[in-house]
Structure 1
Amino acid sequence: MKKQDQTESLQGEGQGQGAKERFTSSGFILAAIGSAVGLGNMWKFPYITGLYGGAAFFLLFIICLLLVGLPVLLAELAVGRGGRGNASTSFIRLSGQKIWGGFGFITVLGAFVILSFYAVVAGWTLHYALLSFTGKLFEHQDFSVLFSDFNASWMPVFWQFIIMLLTGFVIIRGVSAGIEKFNKIFIPGLVILLIVLCVRALSLEGAAEGVSFFLKPDFSKLTAESVLVALGHAFFSLSLGMGAIMTYGAYVDKRQSLGMATVAIGLGDLIYAFLAGLIIFPTTFAFGLEPSQGPGLVFVALPAAFSAMPLGWLFGGLFFLLLSFAALTSTVSLLEVPVAFVREAFGWSRRFSVILLTFLCFLVGVPSALSLGDKVPWLTFGGKSFFDWVDFVCSNIVLPLGGLVVTLFVGYAWKGAAEESGLTAWWLRLWGFMLRYVAPILVLLVFLYSSGVIRF
């Protein structure tokens, strides 16, 4: 262990990782927004919005964001800053009971596993950005076959490795010189790309029909299922339940208003989702494409649209570069979760922790990278690929449980939550009511629905 790391370890003993490193106010908000925005908002949010009534669903999503997303987000930030530790030890410090640390460890493990397959998808975006900028993407006529052939090769493993390498490079530099500096560059870059692509999409002939489909409310499509879908997306789009926000919270200065930060993060996530819809729907409608859920929209349908528009190689490249930016800001937050844990649990240096976990996460992700092709047939079982199984377990079981633990802990077990939140009396009563009586029930319903217990 390096001398500097030994000194840091002694200084931080008994105080957690948050005692040694700090975000600036703006750096923290940008990093947290970077953790929240991701690939899901680009291919899932437009689809479910169109499916469940356009603007009617968008309004429902905002309501769910207020009822569940923001209260739980503030709870995670408060636990992280109050405990000044990783996503496991913060619970123990604040409660004095190890059982809460065990629940917190589930989120640490969840972040590690999520990163293992999320890096695979992030690698796809980098690969397609390169293909588009070089023009090689449009040498093919059947983009479905192109995507299948790509996943049947070893290339997904290579690009997954590149993503993990870039992520590790950022994390190894620390909180201020690594995570904060990275997000101060990438988040403004992401905003610029969003605006450029949004303007281009809205200028396409036939774009107005897509905008109308996205923004025209159809309340007849709102059902009980749509409410649970909106709740789930409001929860997942903020990166809740995976320890990332809690870990970042440990690096927040005591002078930072957690209430204002929560609003800023939620607003950033909402704007990103809205602009994503203004890119996806005008583009798909302008070229007669049917918006579909998941990778098929981004890697099959949209390349066909880019190939048909002037300077399609440029706008296609910018689009996939946008996705790469969004993916990397998320992978950085995910890797910091287990890194913070092992540093505090074992006293390892940041450098050693990052190198070890980056390599291990890459290895764990290789089966996901290979399971969507036909090279390793045994990686598909029970009607799902290994990739799909890992995604299902993490998204539908681990994350809702993590969010439920946070709401119960802050609502019932932790006595210092009110002081740490910094809320005024009226907002504090409202927040407490939401965490005790509303959010746990709604998060539990999301868990039951996403895991298949409740069906419609």
Structure 2
Amino acid sequence: MQREQFGSRLGFILISAGCAIGLGNVWRFPYICGEYGGAAFVLMYLVFLVILGLPIMAMEFAVGRGSQKSIARAFDVLEPKGSGWHRFKWVGIAGNYLLMMFYTTVAGWMLAYVPKMAAGTFTGADTAQTAAAFDAMLGNPEELVVWMIVAVGIAIGVCSLGLQKGVERITKVMMVCLLAIIGVLIVRAVTLPGAGEGVLFYLAPDFSKIFADVGTFCDAAYAAMGQAFFTLSIGMGSMAIFGSYIGKDRSLMGEAATIGALDTGVALATGLIIFPACFAFGVAPDSGPGLVFITLPSVFEQMWLGHVWGTLFFIFMSFAALSTVIAVFECILSFAMDQWGWTRRKAVIFNLIAIPLLSLPCALGFNVLSGVELAGVGNIQSIEDFLVSNNILPLGSLVFVAFCAGKRGWGWDNFLAEANSGSGLKFPAWIRPWMRFGVPTLVIVILALGWLPIIQTWIGMA
């Protein structure tokens, strides 16, 4: 059976960017950027993006395009006879399922807030009242489960229509709308009285925050390195599948750079919405769920037509979440089709049942199962996130790097030939020593720094 292909290069770029653009971009990145010196942190992040994230993304694309398969069969096609690279497929697909087990619940939060904002639920509410409303939602298992199922249903429904008619066509519209909504919200935010202070806080370089002491510099470097690494969704085959759907007319490093620029642009643009609005109304910026679900609703309600701007913001957040869910679902469906020869219909039906069931522990982890925690990590959602972000993604990236740059995998020459096929930015051959030794060192540092505080907690409890 002939491999499905994207109908256009724009479709490939927007869908790959949609997979990379997620909730971490739109609330975590702006805050840590401000915390570590604004534009100074951006520069550090961009360095790590270029030397770490983009080369690994190009490698994952190359494995997909070179094999014309998802990770279910990509290593089987490309690996030397008798080697065991193909065993990684089970780690990769486990990572995709784990990601969906908690990401669909958070996507449901975003969807739930669209009608809440549109109905004027937070009219006249202060931060204490919006915090109470958020806590009430988390404490309601029926509400969380219903919205999680809605998120799964939307994504699976899109994927069931096929690559071009479903995933490509609808994600293209979703991403264009996302970019348009961002533009409207930025114009509104930066024109608020007093918004200039927020823009300065966010974008004016303040190197003193990074170089205050050795500990602060290490924290900033770790944050920038982690953001560059995790934001691109590399390491578990999510990008390999999209590589398998494209032709050889464009070089892969150039495509990775385009997607990285779009991903970073959305992350930066979100800060131009959040910080001017916070400073305009005298609200101190916060991080994580508190910023999105507690602080911002009360900020929007102080604006003229606040419920309209708030609704648009949560539509934007929903598109960011759903674009990732749709992209990862396509990876999961393609795995089943490549590995077991299933039809798309069979894969859709199986996962329409399996993913909501697997996602139940996370949705219930804020209420019915709130007592289930792992010391040093947190609740069920935190455990699932830790397994993916701090373990499977970095270890998976090491596998792709070793497979492409090492002597016992696909081979450097084969990788370069595939990556540099077509017009556009080429992958430099001289970078091989960095890929073989420098990148693994950085990845191991990420792994170690992720585990260190947890091990310290466990030792302290012993």
Taking structure 2 as the reference length, what is the TM-score of the superposition?
0.91
Equivalent-residue separation in structure 1 for 2:124 and 2:272 (angstroms): 28
2:439 corresponds to = 439
Equivalent-residue separation in structure 2 for 1:448 and 1:169 (angstroms): 39
CA contact (8 A) 1:172 1:351 kept: yes
2:394 corresponds to = 400
Equivalent-residue separation in structure 1 for 2:191 and 2:115 (angstroms): 25
**Which secondary structure does the structure 2 equivalent of 1:62 belong to?**
helix
CA contact (8 A) 1:197 1:279 kept: yes
State whether structure 2 residue 328 is matched by structure 1 residue 343.
no
CA contact (8 A) 1:122 1:328 kept: yes
CA contact (8 A) 2:130 2:297 kept: yes
How far the C-alpha of 1:98 sits from its partner, in A, is 5.4
2:103 corresponds to = 118
Equivalent-residue separation in structure 2 for 1:89 and 1:138 (angstroms): 53
1:92 corresponds to = 76
CA contact (8 A) 1:283 1:305 kept: yes
State whether structure 2 residue 256 is matched by structure 1 residue 262.
yes
CA contact (8 A) 1:88 1:102 kept: no
Equivalent-residue separation in structure 2 for 1:102 and 1:284 (angstroms): 48
How far the C-alpha of 1:309 sits from its partner, in A, is 1.1
How far the C-alpha of 1:88 sits from its partner, in A, is 3.5
How far the C-alpha of 1:23 sits from its partner, in A, is 4.5
Q: 1:197 to 1:430 in 2, by over 3 A?
A: farther
Equivalent-residue separation in structure 1 for 2:235 and 2:452 (angstroms): 19
State whether structure 2 residue 236 is matched by structure 1 residue 242.
yes
1:170 corresponds to = 158
The code of the aligned residue for 1:145 comes to: A
- 1:147-226 alignment to 2 at 5 Å? 147-153=134-140, 154-222=142-210, 223-226=217-220
CA contact (8 A) 2:54 2:253 kept: no
The code of the aligned residue for 2:96 comes to: A
Alignment partner of 1:135 out of 89, 107, 120: 120
How far the C-alpha of 1:121 sits from its partner, in A, is 0.7
How far the C-alpha of 1:333 sits from its partner, in A, is 1.0
Deviates more, 1:295-304 or 1:88-97: 88-97
CA contact (8 A) 2:18 2:323 kept: yes
Alignment partner of 1:390 out of 374, 384, 391: 384
CA contact (8 A) 1:113 1:361 kept: no
How far the C-alpha of 1:358 sits from its partner, in A, is 2.8
Q: Percent identity?
A: 36
The code of the aligned residue for 1:131 comes to: K
User: Can you give the 5+ residue segments of structure 2 that lack an aligned partner in the other structure?
Assistant: 211-216, 457-462
1:421 corresponds to = 419
**Which secondary structure does the structure 1 equivalent of 2:428 belong to?**
helix
Alignment partner of 2:86 out of 101, 116, 136: 101
CA contact (8 A) 2:182 2:316 kept: yes
Taking structure 1 as the reference length, what is the TM-score of the superposition?
0.92
**Which secondary structure does the structure 2 equivalent of 1:44 belong to?**
helix
Alignment partner of 2:289 out of 295, 298, 314: 295
2:214 corresponds to = none
Equivalent-residue separation in structure 1 for 2:44 and 2:104 (angstroms): 31
Alignment partner of 2:49 out of 65, 70, 76: 65
1:29 corresponds to = 13
State whether structure 2 residue 223 is matched by structure 1 residue 229.
yes
CA contact (8 A) 1:43 1:298 kept: yes
1:6 corresponds to = none
How far the C-alpha of 1:24 sits from its partner, in A, is 2.2
Deviates more, 1:185-194 or 1:435-444: 435-444
Equivalent-residue separation in structure 1 for 2:300 and 2:199 (angstroms): 18
1:4 corresponds to = none
1:7 corresponds to = none
How far the C-alpha of 1:276 sits from its partner, in A, is 1.0
How far the C-alpha of 1:337 sits from its partner, in A, is 1.7
Deviates more, 1:403-412 or 1:154-163: 403-412
1:76 corresponds to = 60
Equivalent-residue separation in structure 1 for 2:388 and 2:264 (angstroms): 23
The code of the aligned residue for 2:415 comes to: A
Q: 1:386 to 1:426 in 2, by over 3 A?
A: closer
Equivalent-residue separation in structure 2 for 1:291 and 1:350 (angstroms): 45
The code of the aligned residue for 1:36 comes to: A
Alignment partner of 1:49 out of 33, 39, 43: 33
How far the C-alpha of 1:289 sits from its partner, in A, is 1.9
The code of the aligned residue for 2:341 comes to: G
The code of the aligned residue for 1:249 comes to: G
The code of the aligned residue for 2:60 comes to: E
How far the C-alpha of 1:29 sits from its partner, in A, is 0.9
Equivalent-residue separation in structure 2 for 1:237 and 1:282 (angstroms): 24
User: Can you give the 5+ residue segments of structure 1 that lack an aligned partner in the other structure?
Assistant: 1-10, 13-18
Kindly tell me the number of residue pairs found equivalent between the two proteins: 439
Q: 1:221 to 1:193 in 2, by over 3 A?
A: same
Equivalent-residue separation in structure 1 for 2:8 and 2:425 (angstroms): 27
1:371 corresponds to = 365
**Which secondary structure does the structure 1 equivalent of 2:84 belong to?**
helix
Equivalent-residue separation in structure 2 for 1:140 and 1:158 (angstroms): 25
Q: 1:430 to 1:155 in 2, by over 3 A?
A: farther
**Which secondary structure does the structure 2 equivalent of 1:136 belong to?**
coil
The code of the aligned residue for 1:382 comes to: A
